[in-house]
């Protein structure tokens, strides 16, 4: 698990991301990752994000733009997506 360098929103504290590398999904087309953070009320939140490389977007349930922006930064920093995808 890697801590995001900049929590994209004041409402998300201790934002962390990690990868499900053995998810069974083809790595050349999809990235499955998890996230966790605490709210301003110190409530823990966590979930899964599914990034489709060909479509250059997250698929599945909608998430807050602050979360997906921080996730894209994480994917770029870890070398999982090229810079121009961000």
* pLDDT tens-digit readout, 32-50: 999 999 999 999 999 999 9
Give the Å distances, CA to CA, from 80 to 10, 13, 32, 39, 43. 26, 24, 11, 27, 29
Considering the domain boundaries, does residue 86 fall inside one? no
Considering the domain boundaries, does residue 56 fall inside one? yes
Give the Å distances, CA to CA, from 76 to 24, 45, 68. 22, 23, 12
Considering the domain boundaries, does residue 61 fall inside one? yes
Considering the domain boundaries, does residue 17 fall inside one? yes
Residue 26 in this model has a pLDDT that exceeds 90: no
Domain extent, residue 33, equals 2-80
How many structural domains are present in the chain?
1
Question: Which residues touch 66 (CB under 8 Å, ≥6 apart)?
Answer: 8, 9, 11, 12
Q: Residue 6: what pLDDT? A: 39
Per cent of the chain over pLDDT 90 is: 53
């Amino acid at each position: 698990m890697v801590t995001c360098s900049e929590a994209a929103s004041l409402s998300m504290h201790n934002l962390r991301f990690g990868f499900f590398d053995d998810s069974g999904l083809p790595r050349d087309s999809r990235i499955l990752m998890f996230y966790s953070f605490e709210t301003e009320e110190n409530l823990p939140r966590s979930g899964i994000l599914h990034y489709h490389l060909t479509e250059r977007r997250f698929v599945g349930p909608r998430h807050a733009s602050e979360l997906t922006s921080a996730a894209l930064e994480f994917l770029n920093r870890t070398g999982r997506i090229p810079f121009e995808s961000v």
